[in-house]
Amino acid sequence: MKAETKQLYDYILNKEHHKFRKEIELEFDKNMSPIERMIYRFEEICKAETPVILKGEEIAFIRTIKNIPDIFTEQEWEEIKEKHYIHELGYMSNLSPNYERVIANGLLKERENADEYGIRVIDAILDLVKRYKEEAERQGRYDVAGILEKIPAYGAVTFREALQSFRIIHYSLWLEGNYHNTIGRFDKYIYPYLKADLENGRITEDEAYDLLVDFFLSFNKDSDTYVGVQQGDNGQSMVLGGIDENGQEVFNLVSKMCLKASEELKMIDPKINLRVCKNTPLEVYELGSRLTKAGLGFPQYSNDDVVIEGLKKLGYTEQDARDYVVAACWEFIIPKVGADVANIGALSFPRVIDRVMHRDLKACTSFEKFTDCIKTEIKKSCDEICDNIKELWFVPSPFMNICMDCDIYDGGKYNNFGIHGSGVATAADSLEVIKKYVFEEQSVTADELIEAVDSDFEKHSELLPKFRFETPKMGNDIDEVDELAVKLLDWFADGLEGKKNCRGGIYRAGTGTAMYYLWHANEIGASPDGRRKGEPFGTNFSASLFAKINGPFSVIKSFTKPHFERAINGGPLTLEFHNSMFLDNDCVLKVAMLVKTFIGMGGHQLQLNAVNMEAMKDAQIHPENHRQLVVRIWGWSAYFVELDKEYQDHVMKRQEYVV
Amino acid sequence: MTGTIFDIKEFSLHDGPGARTTVFLKGCPLRCRWCHNPEGLKREEQLMVKTARCKSCGRCFMPCEHPECQLFKRCIHACPEGLVEISGKKIEAKELAGILMRNADILNFNNGGITISGGEPLMQWEFVEELIESLDCHTAIETSGYAEKDIFKRIIDKVDYILMDIKLADREEHKKYTGVYNDRILENFEYLKSSGKEYIIRTPLIPGITDTEDNLKQIGEIVGDNPWEKLKYNKMAGLKYPMLGMEYMIK
Ligand code: SF4
Ligand code: SF4
C-alpha cells in the first residue's frame, strides 16, 4: 500500500470521516404514492449530501447523510402488512445489478430508456456528481474533477473511470434505501478496462493495484450506515473466478489483485467469494488460502461443478447458471436478470423431530414408521412456510430497476424463493439416538426419551452424556448418521418440489441458517442428541457444536454426502482452524489442497476460519486493542469488538471444541 | 498384535510431507521436562479429566458398574460436560490400519500419508512394524531416536520418512532434562544418515534449556548440512498436565 493510501486507511479506521455526517429529517405527503416518495427521498438526500473528498483519496464519494428516513410511518406499514407479505425491510434486497452495462453506457444513455422516475433519479445523481466535481476543483484535485467530468454521465473507458463509476452506482443504490447490494462478478466485468489500460500503456500493474486498494477502502467508508442484523451484515459480496457463460475460466489479473488487496487491508468488506471447480489450478486455491490466513473468514468457496448443475436442475438456463453469483451470505443468485428472494424463510429440522417425537413416537412400531412421519411433517412444514408467503410486495426502487435487466417489480426472469434449513446435524444426530436406543437396543422407551428431553435432561440424567458424547454424530464419516442427514435434505427438497410461489417462481431448499441457528434453537427445548435447552445449533451446514469430531477429513466426507443438486440455495460447511495452523507457506499450500479435496469430492460450498481464541478472550476485556480482530458470524464477517456479546460468546463457544 | 494409542489426529500439518493423519502411541522411555504430550509418557491407560471446565457436580464420583471404570474409581460415562475420559486405547494393528486407511484417498490426493508418533513409538516397535506393513500409503515416524540399534534400524528401513529429535547435544544435560543419556540417539542418527531415507532432525526450542547458543551450535555441528528444523516452544504445552493429575515442571 502506498503512503497516501495508508494515511487514508488509518483515517477511515479511526472513523475520522464520521465528523462530516449529519442526519436528515423528511416528511412525506400522505397522498404521495410509494414510488413518488422514493423519488422525493432520493432527490432530497442527494441535495443534502455534502461533497467530501478525502486527502489522498482517488476513488471519491462518501456518505455524509447517515440516516435514510422511512417513507412510511409505522401505521402505514401496518396497513401495508395487512394486505401484503413484507420480506425483511420491504425492499428487494440481495440482488446483483448489471454494473457492467451501466458502467459501459453511462447514465445519460441509461436516461434515454428510463421512465419518468428513472430520469429523476439519474438527474439527482448527476447533480450530486457535478457538486463533487466542483469540490474537487476547489481543492485542486483536478485528477478527480477530470474523471467526474466524464463519468458516470458517459461510459467509462479507463480502469480508474470504471472503478469510480462503480463506486457512484453502488453508492446511489445504498442511498436509494436498497440493502444487501452485492457486487457480483467484479473481476469479470472490470478486467476489460484494466486490460485496455495495460495494453495502451496508460497504467502499470503496480499503479492499478494501488488504485484497487483505494477502491476497496470505499466499501468500508459508509458500511456502518448500511442496515443489517449486526455490523458487517451488509451483503457487499464480491465473486471472483469461475467459468463464464461460455464455459471459459474467468480468473484473471483483477481476481489476483483483489485477493491480495483484501489480504493486505484486512477489512471486512468486500466479502470475497471464490468460484472454483475440480479443474481449477492449485495456484488459485493457494491464493485463496493465503487470504484465509489473514483471518477474515473469507474467501468462501463455491463449487461450479455442483452449483451450476443444481441451478440447471431448478430450471435456470445453462448460460444464466454459469453466471451465478453469491448473495449477501451464501445464497446462489443470478446477476442482472434474477429477482429471486433467496432467504425468504427457513425450515427448522430439529423442530420437525421435536414435534413428531412428541406426537408420534409412542405409536411407531419401527424406525421406518417414525421416519415416514418425519417425512410427512417436513412436507407439512414446507407447506406452512410457503402458504404464509402471499401477496408479496416490495417498496419500488427506481434506480435498482434501472440497474437490473428485468423489471423487478413485475418479477425478473427468475422469481424463486429460497428456504434455509437449520440444524441438519442436530436433527440427524437426534434421529440416530432415537434409532439406536429406542428401536434397535430398545434400552430407552419413548416415554423416557420424551421425559428426558422435556426436563432438559433433569430426569434420566444418565442419558445426557450417553446421547451427547457416546452416540455417533454427523461429521465423523459414519454412514449410518450421515445417511439420515442426506435423507432429511432429500425430504426437504421433496417437500418444496413442484410448489409455485406467489411471484410465479419455485422454491429452493438450502443448507444455510443465517440467524435461525439461534432463533430456531430457542423455539424448542432440549433435543434428543443431548443438546440442552438454549444451546444453539451449528451455523449453516456444520456439525453440532459439542460433537466430538475426528478432524477435517471426516468432516469433509460426512458433509459431501448429501445431494446438493437438490438443495442448492446455498449454505456452507465451515471448517475452523486455529491460526497457528498457518505457520508458513507450506501450511498454506496444505490448506489449499484440502479445499481442492473438498471441491473434488463434490462439496458445494466451503468457508474456512483461522481463529485465535486468545485474541478473542483478550478482546472481550480490552476491546480497544483488538479493533481489527475479524470473526465469521453466519454468512458474513464482522469486527469482533463490534458484535453484541451474545454473538461474541457464540463464536468463542464454537472454539471450546477445537483444540 | 495389540498396541496402545492415545489419539488420532486428522490433517496434521507439521508431521511430514503433505496433509497427514497422525496416530499417537502411548509410552515413552524419556521424561523431557517440557513434554507437551504427558498422556504419551505412560504405557498404561490413564484417567484424564478436563478440570478447567469441571463444574464439580460430583456425578462422575458416583459408584457405577461399568467394568472399564472400576480401575479408576470414577465413572467415565457420567459427566454431562464430557470431561472424564480414559486416555489410551488398546487396538489391533490391522484394525488401526483399517481406520487410518479410510481416508487413503484424501491422503494420497494431498501427497500426504500416515505419521506414527507418540510418546515414543519405538517402545511398541512390533506393533509399529505390523501397522506399517498394513498401511498402503506414504508412512512417516516421529521418534526421539531412543531405541535399541537393531530396532531403530528395522523400523527406519520400513518407513518412507523420519522426523527425529536431537534435543540436547551435551550428554549430561540430556540426562538431566530428559532422564536418559543421548548416546543411543546419536548412534542411531549415524545410522539414519547412512540409511538413504528422507528425514529431518528437529530441536524443540525450550527457553533456557535447549535454545542456548551453545546447545544449538553443538547440534548444528552434529547435524551438519542435513535437514534440521527448530521448533518454537508452544506456550500451551503445559495444558494437559493438570488433566492427568501431574505437575508441569516448566514455568
Ligand atoms: S461429572 Fe464432570 S462436571 Fe461433574 S464433577 Fe465430574 S468432571 Fe466435573
Ligand atoms: S521424547 Fe517426546 S514424548 Fe517422550 S518425553 Fe520427550 S517430548 Fe515427551
The grid coordinates listed for A431 are: 434421529
Specify the long-range contacts of residues A310-315, CB closer than 8 Å, at least 24 apart: A310/A564, A310/A565, A310/A566, A310/A567, A310/A568, A310/A604, A311/A568, A313/A565, A313/A566, A313/A568, A314/A416, A314/A506, A314/A508, A314/A568, A315/A506
Q: What was the pLDDT predicted at A149? A: 96
Same domain flag for A86 and A43: yes
pLDDT class of A658 with cuts at 50, 70, 90: very low
Does a structural domain hold residue A607? no
Mean pLDDT of A441-464: 96
Q: How far apart are CA A454 and CA A528, in angstroms?
A: 10
Q: What was the pLDDT predicted at B36? A: 86
Q: What is the pLDDT of residues B195-247, one digit of tens each?
A: 999 999 999 999 999 999 999 999 999 999 999 999 887 766 777 888 888 88
Among residues A571, A598, A625, which one ends one of the domains? A571
Alpha-helical regions (H) of A388-478: 398-403, 424-433, 446-454, 463-469
Among residues A330, A222, A353, A227, the alpha carbon closest in space to that of A271 is found at A330
Mean pLDDT of B122-131: 98
Q: What was the pLDDT predicted at A659? A: 36
Nearest CA to ligand 1 atom 2: B79
Least confident of A471-475, A632-636, B138-142, B154-158: A632-636
Q: How many structural domains comprise chain A?
A: 2
pLDDT at residue A93 is higher than 90: no
- Residue B37 φ then ψ, to 5°: -120, 65
Same domain flag for A222 and A352: no
Q: What was the pLDDT predicted at A9? A: 93
Mean pLDDT of A321-342: 94
Distance from CA of A593 to the nearest CA of B (A): 6
Domain hosting residue A118, numbered range? 3-330
Q: What was the pLDDT predicted at B236? A: 64
pLDDT class of A331 with cuts at 50, 70, 90: very high
Other Cβ atoms less than 10 A from the Cβ of A163: the count is 26
Partnered with residue A184 across adjacent β-strands are A238
Q: What is the pLDDT of residues A16-50, one digit of tens each?
A: 999 999 999 999 999 999 999 999 999 999 999 99
Q: What was the pLDDT predicted at B114? A: 98
Among residues A547, A571, A595, which one ends one of the domains? A571
Whether B18 and chain A come into contact, CB under 8 Å, resolves to yes
Same domain flag for A351 and A497: yes
Cβ pair A546:B82 closer than 8 A: yes
pTM of the predicted structure, to 2 decimals: 0.91
Whether A459 and chain B come into contact, CB under 8 Å, resolves to no
Same domain flag for A54 and A161: yes
A202 vs A651, more confident: A202
CATH of the domain at A82: 3.20.70.20
Same domain flag for A60 and A154: yes
Among residues A531, A556, A571, which one ends one of the domains? A571
Mean pLDDT of A75-100: 92
pLDDT at residue A549 is higher than 90: no
pLDDT class of A516 with cuts at 50, 70, 90: confident
Does a structural domain hold residue A584? no
Q: What is the pLDDT of residues A570-606, one digit of tens each?
A: 999 988 787 767 778 888 999 999 999 999 999 999 9
Q: What is the pLDDT of residues A598-649, one digit of tens each?
A: 999 999 999 988 877 777 888 888 787 777 777 777 666 777 877 877 778 8
pLDDT at residue B134 is higher than 60: yes
Same domain flag for A77 and A103: yes
Does a structural domain hold residue A105? yes
B84 Cα–ligand 1 center, Å: 7
Partnered with residue A325 across adjacent β-strands are A333
Distance from CA of B21 to the nearest CA of A (A): 9
**Which residue is listed with cell 465469521?**
A632
Q: What was the pLDDT predicted at A656? A: 53
Does a structural domain hold residue A621? no
Same domain flag for A323 and A347: no
Alpha carbon of A309 to those of A417, A540, A568, B95: distances in Å?
18, 21, 9, 39
A551 vs A556, more confident: A556
Mean pLDDT of A378-397: 94
Q: What is the pLDDT of residues A239-272, one digit of tens each?
A: 999 999 999 999 999 999 999 999 999 998 999 9
B238 Cα–ligand 2 center, Å: 13
Q: How far apart are the first and last CA of chain A?
A: 36
CB B122 near ligand 2, within 6 Å: no
Q: How far apart are CA A173 and CA A170, in angstroms?
A: 5
Q: Which residues line ligand 1 (CB under 6 A)?
A: B 49, 54-60, 78-79, 81, 83-84
Partnered with residue B229 across adjacent β-strands are B202
